[in-house]
Structure 1
Amino acid sequence: MQKCVAVLGGGVGGLSACYYLSKSPHVSKVVLLEATASFGGWINTTRREDGAVFEHGPRGVRPAGAVGRNTLHMLSDLGLEHEILPVPHHHVASKNRFIFMNGELHKLPSSLSGLLKTVPPFSSPIILRVMKEVLVKKGKLEDESVHSFVSRRFGSELADIAVDCLCRGVFGGDSRKLSMRSCFPPLHTAEQNWGSVLLGMLLGGEGAGSDARAGLVQRARTESWAQWSLRRGMQTLPDALQEALRGREGVEIHHSAPIRTLSYIAGAWEIQVEGGATVKADHVISALPASVLASLLPPDARLLSHHLREINAANIGLVNLEYEGSVLPVSGFGHLIPSSEDSGVLGVVYDSVPFPQHNRKGEPTTRMTVMMGGAWFEETFGHPDEVKEGMLLDRAVQAVRSHLNITSSPVWSRSAVLKNCIPQYHLGHWKRLEVMRQYIRDHSLPLTLAGASFDGVSVNDVIFSGRRAAEGIVGKI
């Protein structure tokens, strides 16, 4: 029986690990330590008194796959079914996604007929490249960049435009540096197992799973959800997890409790918390960013710290904007900008289209979020500690004016630099993980790595990593 498990980091990964541990009879005590004054990590919502909701982190979650179903089960367990705002596949926000290139917006193909035609900014029908892909030989490298993989299998134009944009939108990252194997594992696996991404997607897709008939999962399937949010914003989820944990016996959750040192002495962890408190634990689950954990580990674990420090994270400049009236010239989810067009501005999300329920009450308004920087942050804005919010706001308003021809000024805005918020899975990331986990096994360290730094950056991935970390200690939950 595990006597005590300490979970480091109170983002959604750490909260999830605690939540799953608290269900197990094999753990007598769980202690969660969060350095800041609030839980939820990068999930952060502003709720205004007039009903407007603004997300400063993740805003929509996909229900697909095992990890998506797992999150839906968690929502059910927490009693949040009635808070869900689903966006179905037939919704305009699911069908219409744009790229801003050569000074204008281009709608990406969303149907078979769109794939059959030549649609700007592409020079030929996308279907031609997709069909030719089955003839491309399987790659021999253990890992390659996303850009290299897509260039090789689908041609350089798709890599330079569509996939460059995708990597900027998902990771704030550079497709020429990101690892295909770690960033898009299903596509890498499809090539390895079937010799073709297309064949792998058609013939090797995962089944629905034994939990597919359960309540909320079945509803998402029946109603064909593409994504979902929550009525009072995404922060409702960590708030509900925190509330559930506070009521559980044997669970302690502490905010404003930064860790000073982490020592492993005589088969147990000793965690020094700022302010003088000491926590002793039989096992540690770290849901901290890799670089933060590296700075806390004892000197004799310097090799592990070295590998942890190799996992970089991107800074994002994020600006929420609100305009009077319905000002968008197009309707859809938003638009992305390839790095060749403007490396500094990653994309603009048209928040009011998928989630009009988050608009303020009364006269119509338009909410948008502009994302900037990422892998290009320092070359665009300078050092993140020295960037003024006014600089971000000016750049965001300029982008909206230029891309969408919106000449009015926003009536409300909020700007922030999210420092080191999206881990970058660069080439060789899978190998680093393998080496680190082997080190932990070889040294019999009761330590589990969880969270966005390792096995996926989406909300679903991070929640699932918390579950896997808990199950690794106590078995299936």
Structure 2
Amino acid sequence: MGTVAVLGGGIGGLATSYYLCKSPQIKKVIVLESSHRFGGWLWSTRRSDGAVFEHGPRGIRPAGAVGRNTLNMVEDVGLEKEILPVTYSHVASKNRYLYVGGKLHKMPSGISGLLQKVQPFSRPLMFSLVKEIMVKKSQEEDESVYSFVSRRLGKELAEIAVDSLCRGVFAGDCRKLSVRSCFPVLYNAEQRRGSLILGMLLGSGPGPVILPGCLAQRSVKESWAQWSLKRGIESFPEAIIENLQQSQKAELHPNAAVKKIDPSTPGWKVHLEDGVISADYIISALPAKALSTVLPPSCPQLIQQLQDIAMATVAVVNLEYDGSILPVMGFGHLVPSSEDRALLGVVYDSVPYPQHNRPGALTTRLTVMMGGAWFQEAFGDPEAVNEEALLTCALNAVRCHLGVMAPPSWSRVAVHKDCLPQYYLGHFRKVELMRDLIRQSNMQLSLTGSSYDGAAVNDVIFSARTAAANLLGTGI
């Protein structure tokens, strides 16, 4: 394999390039990114006074095979000394809140939390768990997250806790999202064990085997719940870029939007605004809809399937306040759609990562997340939205939910257009069909990135590893 073109320079494209450059089979990797910067939604602002603010993911989980895989990469690119771990015993791990009925409610945790009646729930959660073991498994090949949880654990949990969770993780509507694609562990637990509880206790089936490196072993020993980096999450893609440059196999092109790709002998012609690149193979880490706009018209069915994957836009408002202004300590709070459709949640950034506060001063950093699947309904066209209106909405939420009356000392508004794919019912079939169409047409093309096999950072990186391994014929 001579030259591989990787479309997209977010974490999916960079991770794909990282794995490809490790193989002696690959002579050159060309990474094409449409914007001026690499890293995609892994995006940090580092102020000159030392404060760090995250505009995308702020913490990554180390758990499971995909978590180990990411930590192995972090170690390989030399970031182990930059890690900021948050343990399970930390207040940010133990305390998570829901805003329901105009009040903050701490989510139940531990055995005592399950046995007691805890607002906003009308009865102890143990009742739902005991009942769950007796529920028959579904014969359907897919189901909405809301339907699945309602059937197994009751409507109250679905309408409050799971509705909020889906808004916080996917910025999406649990009544439309697929349980099989969004929460495969839950789906597999029911299918293989007949129960979520038994699935959690006995395991829900074999997964990929990823041997832990020193950093992943440390995460287990120290009981990490999540981790970040001293200079922000964007340090991760920056370190991967440095690794790629050292390999001397990779060419990284910012401001290189792909206009169209045409089949050629033996591979592809990739048309850019200022020229054409030849490649033997393409791995696309573009969002599905973006890829659909550059494919040749000779594959209409594939184009249609790609276009059918919906995306959600999220407004992220970073706020800094002087002093300690939080009435509670924890990771943050989520808001169910029944309470406020516009507001997804508020993250108390200073609690898990005080190291990112401005040195030498007592400050509080918050991030307010808004919109998602409800963006158009709440704020109108993302292209025409007024940032001042978004800031006002965020400040009102902080005032109402947390009782913070003082104005922030600093703020920043970002509108992340089409940043999160929405895995609707039947998503797994759609992805299977796309890959079948590519195989049947003998196209020298692979799909990776957040549109297909998981939107979390760990999932995207593992999808990149899988795409590279499949191309190289090496297995995971």
Same fold (TM over 0.5): yes
Which residue of the partner structure matches residue 403 of structure 1? 401
Decide which of 429, 434, 455 is 1:431's aligned counterpart.
429
| 2:287 counterpart of 1:300 | no
Deviations 1:132-172 (A, max 9, x none): 10100111111110000000000000000000000000000
C-alpha deviation, 1:207, in angstroms: 7.8
Is the Cα–Cα contact under 8 Å of residues 212 and 218 in structure 1 kept in the other structure?
no
Distance 2:436 2:315 in 1: 36
Distance 2:241 2:25 in 1: 21
Which residue of the partner structure matches residue 78 of structure 1? 77
C-alpha deviation, 1:197, in angstroms: 1.1
Deviations 1:401-455 (A, max 9, x none): 0000000000000001100000000011001001101001111111100000000
Is the Cα–Cα contact under 8 Å of residues 72 and 212 in structure 2 kept in the other structure?
no
Distance 2:379 2:210 in 1: 46
Deviations 1:118-145 (A, max 9, x none): 0000000001101110100111111110
Decide which of 273, 279, 282 is 1:281's aligned counterpart.
279
Which residue of the partner structure matches residue 394 of structure 1? 392
Deviations 1:296-349 (A, max 9, x none): 000001110100000011000110000000000000000000000001000000
| 2:123 counterpart of 1:124 | yes
Distance 2:177 2:213 in 1: 36
DSSP-derived class of the 1:68 partner: helix
C-alpha deviation, 1:208, in angstroms: 10
Amino acid at match of 1:395: C
C-alpha deviation, 1:214, in angstroms: 2.6
DSSP-derived class of the 2:383 partner: helix
TM-score (normalised: structure 1): 0.98
Evaluate the alpha carbon distance shift between residue 386 and residue 209 of structure 1 in structure 2; reply closer, same or farther with a 3 A threshold: closer
DSSP-derived class of the 1:71 partner: helix
Equivalence map 1:358-369=2 (5 Å): 358-369=356-367
Which residue of the partner structure matches residue 371 of structure 1? 369
Distance 1:280 1:470 in 2: 19
Is the Cα–Cα contact under 8 Å of residues 321 and 407 in structure 2 kept in the other structure?
yes
Deviations 1:361-410 (A, max 9, x none): 11200000000000000000000001011011000000000000000000
DSSP-derived class of the 1:143 partner: coil
C-alpha deviation, 1:110, in angstroms: 1.4
Gaps of 5+ in 2: none
C-alpha deviation, 1:21, in angstroms: 0.2
Decide which of 439, 442, 445 is 2:443's aligned counterpart.
445
Which residue of the partner structure matches residue 196 of structure 2? 197
Distance 1:208 1:317 in 2: 35
| 2:7 counterpart of 1:8 | yes
Which residue of the partner structure matches residue 252 of structure 2? 253
Which residue of the partner structure matches residue 309 of structure 2? 311
C-alpha deviation, 1:282, in angstroms: 1.2
Distance 1:108 1:476 in 2: 41
DSSP-derived class of the 1:371 partner: strand
- Of 239-248 and 315-324, more deviation after overlay is shown by 239-248
Distance 1:39 1:449 in 2: 19
Decide which of 332, 335, 338 is 2:333's aligned counterpart.
335
Is the Cα–Cα contact under 8 Å of residues 100 and 336 in structure 1 kept in the other structure?
yes
Distance 2:405 2:204 in 1: 46
Distance 1:210 1:187 in 2: 20
C-alpha deviation, 1:29, in angstroms: 1.2
Distance 2:151 2:390 in 1: 37
Which residue of the partner structure matches residue 157 of structure 1? 156
Amino acid at match of 1:316: V
Which residue of the partner structure matches residue 226 of structure 1? 225
Equivalence map 1:52-63=2 (5 Å): 52-63=51-62
Is the Cα–Cα contact under 8 Å of residues 179 and 428 in structure 1 kept in the other structure?
yes
Distance 1:79 1:28 in 2: 24
Equivalence map 1:82-231=2 (5 Å): 82-204=81-203, 211=210, 214-231=213-230
C-alpha deviation, 1:244, in angstroms: 1.0
Which residue of the partner structure matches residue 379 of structure 2? 381
Is the Cα–Cα contact under 8 Å of residues 321 and 413 in structure 1 kept in the other structure?
yes
| 2:242 counterpart of 1:240 | no
What is the root-mean-square deviation in Å for CA atoms of aligned residues?
Answer: 1.2
C-alpha deviation, 1:213, in angstroms: 5.1
DSSP-derived class of the 1:188 partner: helix
Amino acid at match of 2:382: P
Distance 1:222 1:419 in 2: 39
Which residue of the partner structure matches residue 262 of structure 2? 263
Distance 1:178 1:207 in 2: 24
The count of aligned residue pairs is 475
Amino acid at match of 2:329: S
Amino acid at match of 1:390: E
Is the Cα–Cα contact under 8 Å of residues 188 and 204 in structure 2 kept in the other structure?
no
C-alpha deviation, 1:249, in angstroms: 2.3
Evaluate the alpha carbon distance shift between residue 208 and residue 290 of structure 1 in structure 2; reply closer, same or farther with a 3 A threshold: closer
Which residue of the partner structure matches residue 47 of structure 1? 46
Distance 2:204 2:433 in 1: 29
Is the Cα–Cα contact under 8 Å of residues 82 and 230 in structure 2 kept in the other structure?
yes
Distance 1:265 1:110 in 2: 57
Deviations 1:255-313 (A, max 9, x none): 111111100123411101111x2111111000000000000000001110100000011
Gaps of 5+ in 1: none
